């Protein structure tokens, strides 16, 4: 939280501090839009920042100041970030940006005149993966596992903690393993200048901001990982690269957007992964109940082997 407060303009920061501490600990998003009131969102509720019951308005000047604070007065360093539309700040939090897009030769070159900031607070929830560990291993090694869930159901949080548990390896009979993370959207590790901002134990290597398909192969060639972790697979290349990786003897942990497992299995781009029986386990997450169901996949049939509350 400290890192987030540092990038807020003084006036906003003061008001954020005045929120009750139980709200402070649960903030998931802070939304700042030029000429609009400021919203602070937790998982269940939305609060508007008020000064003596009148909502304060985020001015254009505040926006410019915030951009200065975000970039350490150096927007010229944010070329890549402005192209992708978000900035990762220390602590692994992400600030999404919207404004006027500048094009160059038909490609997005960056965003100027930024009018909306969305700060997504990253919270490492250590221990969420613990209950799943015993069900995703088989005879002393990890199973290829797919995590399925709609947005905000905690896929990335779970994936992050799984990576940590696998690399530390103390709470399971499986020995600690080298974990390679391909973090295309800088969300799993929240790297700043390549250094992960979350705790992963020792045996973790991260390819930050690398496209998944290329990243999987790069990792296998260069870092000899035993487990590979990828977020949000979905394109055809991803599926192909995962097949390659499985043939190279690496265990895969992946997450994918989807309401449930059936929904994902029907998707043409990655359905062949199921048909060929690559994934041995699937964890289905539910956004509203925050429950996870582990399923054992054997080529085409699927059996539920236990429900676990996150």
Partner 1 sequence: MKLVGAILILITTTIVGWEYSSRLSRRTKQIRYLKIAFEALETEMVFGMTPLPYACEKVSYQLISPLKSLFTNVAKRLKEEENSAQEIWCSSVKSWKNKTDLSEAEINILLQFGQTLGQQDLEGQRKQIRLAISYFDQEEKQAVESQQKFESMYKSLGFLGGVLIVIIML
Contacts to partner 1 by CB under 8 A: 9-10, 64-65, 67-69, 71-79, 82, 109-110, 112
Dihedral angle sign, alpha carbons of residues 33, 37, 41, 46: negative
**Identity of the residue, 8 or 265, whose beta carbon is nearer to partner 1 in the bound complex:** 8
**Nearest distance from C-beta of residue 68 to partner 1, angstroms:** 5
**Identity of the residue, 57 or 102, whose beta carbon is nearer to partner 1 in the bound complex:** 102
The number of beta carbons lying within 10 Å of the beta carbon of residue 100 is 10
Dihedral angle sign, alpha carbons of residues 266, 274, 269, 307: positive
Q: Which stretches within 190-258 are classed as H helix?
A: 212-223, 236-247
**Nearest distance from C-beta of residue 18 to partner 1, angstroms:** 18
**Identity of the residue, 113 or 262, whose beta carbon is nearer to partner 1 in the bound complex:** 113
Can you tell me the distance from the alpha carbon of 75 to that of 292, in angstroms, rounded to the nearest whole number? 41
**Nearest distance from C-beta of residue 69 to partner 1, angstroms:** 7
**Identity of the residue, 78 or 181, whose beta carbon is nearer to partner 1 in the bound complex:** 78
What residues contact 198, with CB distance under 8 A and at least 6 apart?
Answer: 92, 122, 124, 160, 164, 189, 190
**Identity of the residue, 112 or 290, whose beta carbon is nearer to partner 1 in the bound complex:** 112
| DSSP summary character for residue 172 | S
Can you tell me the distance from the alpha carbon of 234 to that of 269, in angstroms, rounded to the nearest whole number? 7
**Nearest distance from C-beta of residue 64 to partner 1, angstroms:** 6
**Nearest distance from C-beta of residue 112 to partner 1, angstroms:** 8
**Identity of the residue, 97 or 168, whose beta carbon is nearer to partner 1 in the bound complex:** 97
**Contact between 283 and 142 (Cβ < 8 Å):** no
**Nearest distance from C-beta of residue 37 to partner 1, angstroms:** 22
Burial of 229 (0-12, 13-18, 19+ CB in 10 A): buried
**Identity of the residue, 19 or 69, whose beta carbon is nearer to partner 1 in the bound complex:** 69
**Identity of the residue, 51 or 79, whose beta carbon is nearer to partner 1 in the bound complex:** 79
Residue with tokens 């398909």, as numbered in its chain? 213
**Nearest distance from C-beta of residue 142 to partner 1, angstroms:** 39
Residue with tokens 């006036």, as numbered in its chain? 11
Backbone angles phi, psi at 108, to 5 degrees: -70, 125
Backbone angles phi, psi at 167, to 5 degrees: -75, -30
The number of beta carbons lying within 10 Å of the beta carbon of residue 118 is 17
**Nearest distance from C-beta of residue 74 to partner 1, angstroms:** 5
Strand-pair partners of 104: 107
């Amino acid at each position: 939280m400290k890192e987030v407060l540092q990038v807020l303009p003084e006036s906003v920061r003061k008001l954020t501090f005045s929120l009750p501490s139980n709200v402070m600990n649960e903030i998931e998003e802070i939304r700042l839009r030029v000429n609009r009131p400021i919203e602070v969102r937790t998982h269940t509720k939305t609060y508007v920042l008020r000064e003596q019951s009148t909502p304060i308005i985020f001015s254009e000047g505040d926006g410019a100041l915030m951009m200065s604070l975000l970039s350490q007065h150096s927007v010229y360093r944010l070329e890549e970030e402005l192209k992708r539309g978000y900035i990762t700040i220390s602590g692994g939090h992400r600030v999404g940006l919207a404004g006027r897009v500048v094009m160059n030769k038909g490609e997005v070159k960056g965003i100027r005149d930024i009018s909306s900031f969305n700060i997504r607070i990253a919270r490492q929830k250590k221990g969420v993966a613990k209950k799943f560990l015993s069900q995703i291993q088989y005879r002393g090694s990890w199973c290829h596992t797919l995590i399925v869930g709609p947005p905000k159901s905690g896929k990335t949080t779970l994936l992050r903690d799984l990576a940590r548990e696998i690399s530390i390896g103390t709470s399971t009979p499986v020995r600690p393993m080298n974990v390679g993370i391909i973090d295309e959207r800088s969300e799993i590790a929240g790297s700043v200048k390549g250094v992960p901002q979350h705790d992963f134990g020792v045996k973790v290597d991260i390819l930050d901001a690398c496209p998944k398909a290329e990243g999987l192969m790069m990792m296998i060639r260069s870092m000899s990982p035993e487990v590979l972790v990828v977020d949000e697979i979905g394109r055809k290349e991803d599926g192909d690269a995962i097949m390659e990786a499985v043939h190279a003897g690496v265990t895969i942990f992946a997450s994918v957007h989807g309401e449930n497992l059936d929904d994902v299995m029907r998707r043409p781009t990655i359905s062949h992964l199921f048909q060929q029986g690559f994934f041995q386990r699937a964890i289905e997450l539910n956004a509203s109940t925050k429950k996870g169901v582990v399923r054992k996949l054997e080529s085409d049939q699927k059996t539920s082997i236990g429900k676990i509350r996150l």
